[in-house]
Structure 1
Amino acid sequence: MSTTRLEYRDPKVPKAVCVYTIAQESRYLIVENVPNLGVSNELLERFGQFGHIEEHRILDEHASSSEYTDVYWIKYDTIKSSRIAKRKLDDKPFFTNLLRVSYAPEYETFDDTRMKFQDRLESIHFKLSSTTHAYIKKRRSSSNYKQETVYIGPIQRRPEEKKPTNHTPIINKKRRRI
């Protein structure tokens, strides 16, 4: 916990922030702490909400697999789908157990890793080019805008305007105080 943060801003439950690099993220997920009650269809239905699941299987040889809990290996079609699924379902209850979802880059092939880095490079180039194009387009549209010169100040009468003739002329009279 922070020692300089005000007490009312301090969270009741400390949260650990974990940052993943591109090499650590993967379209392969390991789901631990799944109850051994034959709920694989429900689990796949829940994980299927976030993207197309290409493959899945139960890992009996995994270290956290026990008599009462299973470990599942899930392969998504895209990294984006696995990223969303991990964020939404990690530490969420599932049949009285909290699911532990983690990336599994050790199951990636060399081609998977190459494609992952290539996709990331393309997405970065697209984002940079789209923001640059948007900035240039905005600059062009603002420079093409024709601005008219507008006088901002007190209203000035034009010389061709005539004063109304139906009012009486003002005679300099001295005011009296009452």
Structure 2
Amino acid sequence: MRRESEGEAAPAASDTDADTPPWEPAPKLSKTELAREAKLSASQVAMIEKIHSHAAPEVIAAVKTGALSISAAAVVASLPEEEQRAAAQGGKDELKQAARRVREARRKPKPEPVAEDAATPTANAADAGEVEALRQRVASLTAENQALRMELDALRARLAAATESTEA
């Protein structure tokens, strides 16, 4: 008794358990249970995990400061780390534009409703090939445009880095 009151603990029965805590480890929570405990949706938890594992530190900092939403950060996290950093250096608006560009690139084009005209069924059949060729051309140009925008963002980031290094 005296040893315990003076701050000295009684020697342990087995020194092999000296490093283990006296309580049982908490069981792993599923995403659904974790979401319920944190009062979030399961999709928000998944987005947070994606941000935690793939986002650049600058993007995480933007989320913590409130400059970028969780959903936008999850989208930006799918970009290469260099592009994430370049967008983060561009500020809040640049981060939002990067998220918008990624979303637009992922979005499938909506099929446009075609009004059937009974008087010209042969003209519609002839135009179908041309319409399909034009759709493919638009898709190709859209992809090229996206690639060029990403290249432009990377070049802007390199220019900013070069400007900073010459000023220092």
Q: What's the TM-score bracket when you normalise by the shorter of the two chains?
A: under 0.3
Of structures 1 and 2, the one scoring higher in RCO (CA 8 A, sep 6+) is: 1
User: TM-score, with normalisation over the residues of structure 2?
Assistant: 0.25
Larger fraction in helix: 2
- Larger Rg, first or second structure (1 or 2): 1
User: TM-score, with normalisation over the residues of structure 1?
Assistant: 0.24
